[in-house]
Every structure is written in structure tokens, then in C-alpha cells.
Amino acid sequence: MINIDEVVSSIRESITLVDAYLREKDEVRELIIKSGRDVIRESGYVITSLHSMRLEDAGKHYSAMKDIYLKVTELASKYPELRNSGLYFNIASEYVEAALYYILIKEGRLPSISDLGVDPVPYVQGLLDLVGELKRRILDLVRDDKYDEAYTLFKVAEAIYESVRTLDYPDPILPGVRRKTDVARSVTESLRTLLTDLESRRRLMESLRKCESS
């Protein structure tokens, strides 16, 4: 015979535990959202400072961004669902993009996934987003007649696209990556056309100068 009092008590006890778990999880989620905004804001400052070549400012914002990101990661790690959520991945990919760009410009190298200590998905997302920032930097260099530097950064962008395009996985496994890869392809193709055209013009002008001086 069913002991209804015992059954009801068991249900209520379980729901009380569930409520406590979800309340704490929701509080952590809110903290992640709040701190995530700070990460995204600082990452924007890092990138803006780098485009203006204000490396000291970029370094300060990079340090602030990294500290906040590590706190966000610690919070998200308490709940696997949050650590593997779009919310966390979006924050992490913004961190990755800014960190990659900062270290590339400052140290001339691109840190690996293990260097940054990030998850695979946001690393790939941030890597692809970097291509857009490289385009902006390349155009600035072209305007300053720094073609060799521009071409070097183009090769970085091209390497990112060529490497990531081999990751043929569905969106549930690599969310947003196919779309970002398509964008990176478009960016690299437009840059290749631009730089090829500029190189042809440079060679033509050089030939004309030689003819004039002969």
C-alpha cells in the first residue's frame, strides 16, 4: 500500500533540493553575464588600442581582460552546462580574439590553444574572428605603404582560413564555425585580390621609373 505522506514528503524534499541547486546555478549564471560584459568591453579596448598602436594601453586592458576571464571560467566550471554553453563560449571567443591579436602584434607569434588555456570551440571561433581584425590592420598598413608587413599578416589570415576549413563538423559540435569560416574565406579572397593588384601596380611603376631613367 502506498504511504502517501511519505511519497509527498519525498517529492517535496527533492524539489527543495532542486530549487536550491537551480537558484545557486542561476546566481552563478548572472555573475557570468555581468563579468562577461566586462571581458567583452576590455577585449574591445585591447583591439582598439592595438589598431592605434598604443601598445601600453593595450597591455593594461589585456591584463584586466585576462583576470576577469579567469574568474568567469572559474565560475562557469562549477556547472558543466554553463561551461559548455553559448553564453560562456561567446565570452571566451571574445577573449581569444583579443588575446591572439595582442600577442601577435606585440610578440610576433600566435599563441596555441594550450598557451591560452581555453576550450576548443571558443579557440576556433576567436581564431576566425581574428581574420577580420587582421583585414583592418592590413588596410592600415597598405595606406602607410607598408606592403611587406601587410603581406605577412595576410599570410597569417590565409593560414587561419586554410587550417580551420578542414574542420568539417556540424553546428552542434562546432557552433557558428561554418558561418565564420565562410566570412574568413570572403575576407582572405578580397585581401588576396587587393594585394595582388597592388603588387602588380608596384611592379609597373618600378618598370616605368627604370624606363624613364634609362
Q: How many CA atoms lie within 13 A of 93 on its CB side?
A: 22
State the Cα–Cα distance between residues 178 and 184, nearest whole angstrom: 10
Question: Which triple of cell numbers denotes residue 179?
Answer: 558561418
- What distances in angstroms separate CA 32 from CA 10, 22, 124, 168, one per listed residue? 33, 15, 21, 30
Domains in the chain with CATH codes? 1-114 (1.20.58.2140), 119-214 (1.20.58.2140)
3-state secondary structure of 56: helix
Q: Are 58 and 109 in contact (CB under 8 A)?
A: no
Residue pair 25/79 in contact (Cβ under 8 Å)? The answer is yes
Whole-prediction pTM: 0.89
Per-residue confidence in pLDDT tens, the chain, 214 aa: 878 888 899 999 999 999 999 999 999 999 999 999 999 999 999 999 999 999 999 999 999 999 999 999 999 999 999 999 999 999 999 999 999 999 999 999 999 999 999 999 999 999 999 999 999 999 999 999 899 999 999 999 999 999 999 999 999 999 999 999 999 999 999 999 999 888 767 765 565 566 666 6
